[in-house]
Amino acid sequence: MSTKPIIWITGASSGIGEATAYRFAREQASLILTATRLEQLAKVQQECIRLGARCEVLSCDLSDLSRIDAVTDQALARFGRIDVAFLNAGISQRSKVVDTFPEVHHTIMEINFFSPSMIARRLLPSMIAQGGGTIAVTSSIAGRFGFPLRSSYAASKFALYGFFETLQAEYHGDNIRVVMVCPGRVRTQISFNALEADGTKHGRMDEGQQKGITADKAARKIVRAIKKQKPEVLVGGPELLMVHIKRFLPALSRRLARKVNAT
């Protein structure tokens, strides 16, 4: 990565995206920030500029897949290239399989899977032409094992692993590197904004989320992983142990998953 890379962050108006933007801003990176909430995004932009970054904002609702190619082209045009794309935007879920409306499944897959996979496809030709680039993608420990009230969310995060591990295998020779960001419990608004069975917002901070690590602590680890182009980075607290249990003791992990307090 160059000394002052050009970095595009989606989901940048709050939480991990916001905290990561500030971390890169302190290093005088050039930033492009995308989210739906333009007013909040403008506040993040002002802070990034105060910290020393060049910073542009690009508001977009990434659930509108018809806009993905255009917004990616606009991001590329802001500074002429993108060295790092941190595809962080996402939405969670709090509902059982039978209760969940089909429209909720679609919305979650559109934001969490189709949006980043389409952005990556659009970015690849320019990254290859410039000699390489890094694509960091926010998955979740729910992308490593399923647990209650997360069917669509887990499906979308599992799908990210399949897509981006394939992308990495295909374009490694073109100096394209993928960093899978795998958070556990981080103290953000993700549970507040999570979708209930009928698509309404969950509207409250889950107890487990409240006990999570801070977004800034997560950002420190994520930025370090992106710089080192680590294939995967686990971010969180004791809950990350479940990832290792799933790998080495799968039967135990299934029993434990059934007992997870998912709210």
Burial label for 203, CB within 10 Å (0-12, 13-18, 19+), is exposed
Q: Residue 80 sits in a domain of what CATH number? A: 3.40.50.720
pLDDT tens sequence across 229-251:
999 999 999 999 999 999 999 99
Question: By percentage, how much of the chain surpasses pLDDT 70?
Answer: 98
- The phi-psi region of residue 178 (left if phi > 0; otherwise alpha if psi is between -120 and 50; otherwise beta) is beta
Average confidence score pLDDT of the chain: 95
Domain that holds residue 214: 6-258
Query: In this model, does residue 2 exceed pLDDT 70?
Result: no
b/e per residue, 226-254, with b = 16+ CB within 10 A? beeebeebbbbeebbebbebbeeeeeebe
Q: Which residues contact 159 (CB under 8 A, 6 or more apart)?
A: 109, 113
Place of tokens 């890094």: 134
Establish if 69 belongs to a structural domain: yes
Q: Is residue 30 part of a domain?
A: yes
What SS3 state is found at 99?
coil
> What does 181-230 look like in DSSP terms, one character per residue?
EEE-SEESSHHHH-B-TTS-B--S--HHHHTSEEHHHHHHHHHHHHHHT-
**Which is catalytic among the residues 22, 153, 161, 171?**
153
Question: In which band, very low, low, confident or very high, does the pLDDT at 52 lie, cut at 50, 70 and 90?
Answer: very high
Residue 18 has pLDDT above 80, yes or no: yes
| Contact predicate 10/132, CB 8 Å | no
Name the one residue in this structure whose structure tokens are 């190619």. Answer: 69
Band the pLDDT of 27: cuts 50, 70, 90: very high
| 154 vs 206, residue with greater confidence | 154
Give the per-residue pLDDT at 205: 85
263: in domain: no
How far apart (Å, rounded) are the C-alpha atoms in residues 224 and 46? 24
Asked if residue 58 belongs to a domain, the reply is yes
Q: What gap in Å lies between CA 150 and CA 95, rounded to an integer?
A: 7
pLDDT tens readout for residues 180-218: 999 999 999 999 899 999 999 999 988 878 889 999 999
**Res 157: pLDDT:** 98
Residue 105 in any domain: the answer is yes
The answer to whether residue 135 sits within a structural domain is: yes
Identify the pLDDT of residue 211: 87
Is 171 designated active site? no
**Is the predicted pLDDT of residue 1 greater than 60, yes or no?**
no
Number of domains present in the structure of the chain: 1
The answer to whether position 73 is within a domain reads yes
| Cα–Cα distance for residue pair 184/231, rounded to 1 Å | 17
pLDDT band at 170 (very low <50, low <70, confident <90, very high): very high
Residue predicted with more confidence, 211 or 65: 65
Q: In this structure, is residue 1 part of a structural domain?
A: no
